Amino acid sequence: MNFMPDILWSDKLIFLLLAALSASAWYVRRHEHLLLPWRRVAHSATAMVSLMVLSLFLLIGLLDSLHYRAALPEKNNGETVYSPDVLSVFDKLVTPLRTHTEKTYSAPLAVTLYAKESTTDAQGNVVRDYPRLQYGGAHLADVSSRDGDIARRSLIGAAAGLIAGLLIVFAAKRWLPAHNWPKGPMFIAMLIITILIGALANLASGYHVLGTDKVGQDVLYQSLKSIRTGLVIGTVTTLVTLPLALFLGIAAGYMRGWVDDVIQYVYTVLSSIPSVLLIAAAVLMMQVTIDTHPEWFDTSASRADLRLVFLCLILGVTSWTGLCRLLRGETLKLREMEYIQAAQSFGVSTLRILTRHIVPNVMHIILIALVMDFSALVLAEAVLSYVGVGVDPSMISFGTMINSARLEMGREPMVWWALAAAFAFMLVLVLAANLFADAVRDAFDPRLSQTE
Partner 1 sequence: MDVAGDLEARTSKMIAYLIRRILYAIPILIGVNLFTFALFFVVNTPDDMARMQLGIKRVTPDAIENWKQQHGYDKPLMLNRAASGTGKITDTIFWQKSAGMFVLEFGFSDDGRSISREIATRMGPSLAIALPTFMIGLVVYVSFALLMTLFRATALDMAGVALCVVLMSISGLFYIIGGQFLVSKLWHLVPISGYAVGEDSIKFVLLPVLIGVVGGVGSSSRWYRTIFLDEIGKDYVRTARAKGLSELHVLFRHVLKNAMIPILTGVVVVIPLLFLGSLLTESFFGIPGLGSYTIDAINAQDFSVVRAMVFLGSLLYIVGLILTDISYTMVDPRVRLS
Q: Is 274 in the site for partner 1 (CB under 8 A)?
A: yes
Nearer Cβ to partner 1 (297/386): 386
Q: Is 9 in the site for partner 1 (CB under 8 A)?
A: no
Mark 393-423 as b/e (b = at least 16 C-beta within 10 Å).
eebbbbbbbbbbbeeeeeeeeebbbbbebbb
* Omega of the bond leading into 413 within 30 degrees of 0 (cis): yes
Nearer Cβ to partner 1 (206/211): 211
Nearer Cβ to partner 1 (72/387): 387
Nearer Cβ to partner 1 (106/385): 385
Considering only 7, 127, 155, 277, the residue that binds partner 1 (CB under 8 A) is: 277
Q: How far apart are CA 30 and CA 26, in angstroms?
A: 7
Nearer Cβ to partner 1 (317/343): 317
Q: How far apart are CA 86 and CA 108, in angstroms?
A: 28
Residues 348-377 that bind partner 1 (CB under 8 A): 375
Instruction: Mark 215-254 with x for binding to partner 1 (rule: CB under 8 A) and - for no binding.
Output: ----------------------------------------
Considering only 142, 177, 451, 452, the residue that binds partner 1 (CB under 8 A) is: 451
Interface with partner 1 (CB under 8 A), residue total 45
Q: Which residues pair with 129 in a beta bridge?
A: 117
Q: Is 168 in the site for partner 1 (CB under 8 A)?
A: no
One-letter identity of residue 230: G
Q: How far is the CB of 271 from partner 1 (least distance, A)?
A: 8
Q: How far is the CB of 382 from partner 1 (least distance, A)?
A: 5
Q: How far is the CB of 289 from partner 1 (least distance, A)?
A: 6
Q: How far apart are CA 376 and CA 371, in angstroms?
A: 9
Q: Is 398 in the site for partner 1 (CB under 8 A)?
A: yes
| Of 200, 341, 324, residue with least CA distance to 263 | 324
Residues 407-436 that bind partner 1 (CB under 8 A): 409, 414, 419, 423, 426-427, 430-431, 434-435
The residues binding partner 1 (CB under 8 A) are: 265-266, 268-270, 272-274, 276-278, 280-282, 284-285, 287-289, 291-292, 294, 375, 379, 382-383, 386-389, 398, 402, 406, 409, 414, 419, 423, 426-427, 430-431, 434-435, 438, 451
